[in-house]
Amino acid sequence: MVPTVDLLVPVKPLHRAKTRLLGAADGGAGDPRAHARLALALARDTLAAAAAASCVRRLVAITSDPMVLDALAGDGVRTVPDSPDAGLNPALRHGERVLRGTDPGAAVGVLQADLPALRPNELDAAVRDGLARGGRVFCPDRSGSGTTLLLATTGHPLEPRFGAGSAAAHRGTGAAELAGNWPGLRCDVDTADDLAVARALGLGPATRFALGS
């Protein structure tokens, strides 16, 4: 039987998301509407890749943004509210309670929502590796300082420590580091340089459309 995980993907309100990418969608003009479309596209491509991964059993986006909710409803993605609206880690703990409330024995995980070059086979490989190790594991981003994926197997809490220096923070709580060759999984997009790297790897269709390419 294929090992599976229930995956949370937090999506920020679009007006607060990806501020360092402002102007990337419209040649530097900085139109908030174009920026919101790009931030949403990053999340939609990430969620589409995760939905296509065979190791993902349940996929849930955490968001209260009306534009995100409308788009994800059209994509068939389940959502839960960003509760208690007190930042990322409290929202993830709430999402974990929702998932484990219906299946206490589930393996649960968090995937960042800004991985437009993610491939389903990369996520499958990372999840299989992580679940085989057991306990808590994380995948650092390509800079080595951030975290793109956090997994917790049955009987282990997620203990999310997302934010600046999250890789070191997760390592400090005893989570083991995943070290596979998964460039799309490691390529979170915060800056124009990150976006260029993701473009070279191959962007998902929503992000390509938002960039007009």
Encode pLDDT of 153-187 as tens digits. Answer: 999 999 999 999 999 999 999 999 999 999 999 99
Judge if the upstream peptide bond of residue 84 is cis by omega within 30 degrees of 0: yes
Distance CA 200, CA 13 (A): 27
Residue matched to tokens 């402002």: 22
List the end-to-end C-alpha distance of the chain, in Å, as a whole number.
40
Distance CA 14, CA 38 (A): 9
Comparing C-alpha atoms, which of 174, 176, 61 is closest to residue 114?
61
pTM: 0.97
Which CATH superfamily includes the segment(s) 13-210? Spore Coat Polysaccharide Biosynthesis Protein SpsA; Chain A (3.90.550.10)
- pLDDT for 81 beyond 80: yes
Distance CA 108, CA 99 (A): 8
Half-sphere exposure of 120 (CA within 13 A, CB side): 10
